Chains A and B, each alone.
Chain A
Amino acid sequence: MAVQEEKPGWLGKSVRRIEDDRFIVGRGNYVDDVVLPGMLHMAVLRSPVAHAKINSIDTSRAEALEGVVAVVTGELLAQHNLAWMPTLSGDTQAVLATDKVRMQGQEVACVIAEDAYIAHDALELIEVDYEQLPVITTPQAALEPGAPVIRDDKEGQTDNRIYHWEAGDEQATEQAFAQADRVVSLATHYPRCHPAPLECCGCVADVNPATGKATIWMTSQAPHVHRTVFALVAGLPEQNIQIISPDIGGGFGNKVPVYPGYVVATAASLLIGRPVKWIEDRTGNLISTGFARDFHMEGELALTDEGKMLGLRVRMLSDQGYAYADAQPSKFKAGLFHIVGGSYDLAATHVVTDGAYTNKAPGGVAYRCSFRVTEASFFIERLVQTAAYELGIDPAELRRRNFIRADQFPYTSATGFIYDSGNYEPALDLALEKVGYDELRAEQKRLREEEGRLIGIGLASFTEVVGAGPSKNFDILGLKMFDSAELRVHPTGKAILKLGVKTQGQGHETTFAQIVAHELGIPPQDILVQHGDTDNTPYGLGTYASRSTPTAGAATAVVARKLRDKAREIAAHLLEASPEDLEWDWNRFYVKGSPDQSKTIQEIAFAAYTDLPEGMEHGLEGVNYYDPPNMTYPFGSYAVVVEIDRGTGKWEVRRVVAVDDCGVRINPMIVEGQIMGGLTEGYAMAAMELITFDEDGNCLGSNFVDYLLPSSWETPNFELHETVTPSPHHPIGAKGVGESATVGSPAAFVNAVVDALAHVGVRNFEMPVTPDKVWEKLVEVGLAE
């Protein structure tokens, strides 16, 4: 082997995605593509009203329709103790309503039929007698004394409060405020929106009557957790439950919870003895499945006249809908919202959170967000911007004066987070340089004064907390939030990697193969990444909260290193050398000082099955369950430039400059794809996405005509840049990136619109910042044309 092969350097290489080959020819395998012999179809009857007592349900006409096999009601499920199920945050949620419906769109009955058209026909024939009850649509109303108790099914629940949770030091914070020269406040609502993955939820449940084995193809971001929940809900032995999450058409948090449709389809298959398919329609998805946000936030920042931040107080009230169904660590009732201090060195912070039941869909899932860090980041970045105007300090300069300095890491925040690494100022500087900040400020002033045009420049310097998480602090329903990787190298040097996490488009089949390639020198195209099938992957908590790379990515590196250790022993045997005398060079061991005497990983793999040192166990495989020592803290600075049309209130995005620091980038192409996707959803939240309700609890965002999503036409272009500050505790220094841009960018967009009108005293717009809101403000301040 005289010629030195080019070292591929798999880390940091934009390998084209392995999974694309099936998607571009229409050969993906999504849940709705699964067809089984004898398969039946299920359709769901949903409540048209938001709060009502169910007096009766008459299914006789539906049952009589030709082709209908069964109609399932809550009463039937109750006979099998299946009418209610646990949520991932330890509350309960109805599978099918028995006593009452508590939100519009709640599942009331299901029809199982020979074909989906017949199943939907039969829904029309079910008669339900509803006796309407008073509807509560805001958490403020829910917590009023004497408000009707929505969850009267729960023993001991005498009001609509779900939790009260505090973080930080109240007394120290009060002292900080007592010393402040200035106190700046902000009250705002991060409105309810919906992740709306393009593929709705669904499943195919196949319970084999002979063996009792339940195989369930399911739109699941967390198949192992779902298997355990199924075991708990249905009482099925866990070894008889196989969840297969095949290709998933986007998740963004929406496919983390367990939904009633999955449970009813599985119960129906068990009772009927045939496979049952349930595919949700879009309205069902939007009105009944995990929404996001709906946080009412207010708070104050204590500052000196020079702009030094002394303390932060925040109060938050969340609207959880009729069930507390956030998928979040059990220790943290409002998720990780208490990271609300963001990128700033705050000596004192106090955060008070409350959650309330309302007659709306349950959820509060994280929409491309690590457990409410999105709301926290939005709030502090909006508040800092407000403070800048009030103190007359440039918003970039105010941030710079208060950043946690590079020499302060690891940094312990006032609410108990230990930031692993960061270097905030260079990221801000790069964003300012790329956007041309100083010139823009001059242009903004000139255009305003000379032409009456309204340009706005919005900044956000966010810090995330992702990669849940260390088992001492993080669990879901008691399940510790480790994750896993199992690696087997076959005799021919090809490999299979099995993960506890599950992609919904993030590119795990390529990225994770690159980690193995980096550690072992096996090219990515020689590695099959398997995930989503609970019978064939090690246990893990799933993909959400930007946790895959920090947890399972770490597990992949660790297990590959385990195999390399064994490979060293085998190579020593093959080379008749001592293991300590070998050096590793990207895909081979060689004898120190004799590079020609070497064995490649492929040769070593063959020997693992054919020619082993005496006494060594055969094979080259291993598994790692990785318990991360800390969370990771990606960060970045975004700059957005907008112009407001004074004739309509419409705002146009002129520039989006995004500097992201997610530590070491495994596949830069995929990382940038994640950032652009996140920026688009961040823009969407700032500009248009809204799930709202009328006073009767009717959902006004129940389809893609009413719930606006950005298309290629209005989505701006993005200018991406990076700094690299590796995570000190992650095996390859990576931090996770899937959600950075949805966390960081909404504040940058809103700040930009506010900035365009800051000179006339405008300090806030509520999201989504629709043209009508801007128009009203233009009229109010006398700038409408």
Chain B
Amino acid sequence: MTQISVTVNGTSRPADVEPRLLLVHFLRGKLALTGTHIGCDTTSCGACTVLLDGTPIKSCTFLTVQADGREITTVEGLAQNGALHPLQEGFKEEHGLQCGFCTPGMLLVSKALLEANPSPSEEEIRWALSGNICRCTGYVNIVKAVQWAAKKIETTPVG
């Protein structure tokens, strides 16, 4: 067992973990944060995407011990003080989800994109999302959802 301390969605989560424990299993199994999903086991589909210090990673092929001392954001950490993140609103508004299984990963990749690039082109959005598979929607509405959120963030006064 290895002792680690990870900050998840703003809360420090010290834990003793097996060195081989995958981050996705730590989040889902030990912390009961089941919004992060497992779709392929091979870093291909992105259902397990979380943010590591703000950068998207695929938690199905990332060891929990590698996250020691770092900050993780999962889908459960997106809404703040009960208010949905504009991306969450955008996905509902633009019908950017159907079965919902890929949605957490899509939301987190999009969050990282918009933080780096607040008004991305369609091509930039499609490139950013290209490591995340959706089997239901055909992506068009996901792109629109990200555009919806970008616009909302841009037009919402800060503070």
Chain A residues with CB under 8 Å of chain B are: 16-17, 19-28, 30, 32-33, 35, 116-117, 196-200, 247-250, 252, 279, 281-283, 504-507, 669-670, 672-673, 676-681, 703-705, 709, 711-713, 715, 717-718
> Known contacts A117-B20, A196-B135, A705-B44; is A717 also within 8 Å of B140 by CB?
yes
Instruction: Among A678, A679, A715, find the residue whose CB has the most chain B CB atoms closer than 10 A.
Output: A715
Q: What residues of chain B lie closer than 8 Å to A680, measured between beta carbons?
A: 137-139
Please report the C-alpha to C-alpha distance between residue A444 and residue B21 in the assembled complex, in whole angstroms: 57
Q: What residues of chain B lie closer than 8 Å to A676, measured between beta carbons?
A: 137-138, 140-141
Output the least CB separation between B94 and chain A (Å): 9
Chain B residues 92 to 108 lying within 8 A of chain A, measured CB to CB, are 92-93, 95, 97-104, 107
- Contacting pair B101 A250 (CB below 8 A): yes
Please report the C-alpha to C-alpha distance between residue A506 and residue B36 in the assembled complex, in whole angstroms: 21
Nearest 10 A-B pairs (CB), nearest first? A26-B35, A505-B99, A23-B100, A249-B101, A704-B44, A26-B75, A680-B138, A505-B98, A676-B138, A713-B130
Which residue of B21, B41, B103 is within 8 Å of A23 (Cβ)? B103
Q: What residues of chain B lie closer than 8 Å to A30, measured between beta carbons?
A: 34, 37, 101
Output the least CB separation between B102 and chain A (Å): 5
Which residue of B36, B79, B95, B133 is within 8 Å of A669 (Cβ)? B95
> Known contacts A26-B36, A673-B141; is A506 also within 8 Å of B98 by CB?
yes
Q: What residues of chain B lie closer than 8 Å to A250, measured between beta carbons?
A: 98-99, 101, 135-136
Please report the C-alpha to C-alpha distance between residue A200 and residue B101 in the assembled complex, in whole angstroms: 11
Query: What's the dominant secondary structure at chain B's contact region?
Result: loop
Q: What residues of chain A lie closer than 8 Å to B76, measured between beta carbons?
A: 25-26
Task: Knowing that A16-B95, A704-B133, A713-B130 touch, tell me 13 more A-B residue pairs with CB under 8 angstroms.
Answer: A22-B100, A24-B97, A24-B103, A26-B33, A26-B34, A117-B18, A198-B45, A199-B101, A247-B100, A249-B39, A507-B98, A673-B136, A709-B135
- Contacting pair A282 B141 (CB below 8 A): no
- Contacting pair A249 B88 (CB below 8 A): no
Please report the C-alpha to C-alpha distance between residue A670 and residue B25 in the assembled complex, in whole angstroms: 33
A-B contact pairs, 11 of them (CB 8 A): A19-B100, A20-B91, A20-B92, A24-B91, A26-B74, A32-B37, A198-B134, A504-B99, A505-B98, A676-B138, A703-B42
* B5 located at the interface, meaning its Cβ lies under 8 Å from any Cβ of chain A in the complex: no
Please report the C-alpha to C-alpha distance between residue A717 and residue B38 in the assembled complex, in whole angstroms: 28
Output the least CB separation between B33 and chain A (Å): 7
- Contacting pair A282 B39 (CB below 8 A): yes
Output the least CB separation between A493 and chain B (Å): 26
Which residue of A32, A505, A506, A711 is within 8 Å of B130 (Cβ)? A711
> Known contacts A21-B92, A677-B98; is A282 also within 8 Å of B135 by CB?
no
Instruction: Among A27, A678, A712, find the residue whose CB has the most chain B CB atoms closer than 10 A.
Output: A712
Which residue of A24, A35, A249, A718 is within 8 Å of B99 (Cβ)? A249
Output the least CB separation between A121 and chain B (Å): 10
Instruction: Among B38, B40, B79, B135, find the residue whose CB has the most chain A CB atoms closer than 10 A.
Output: B135
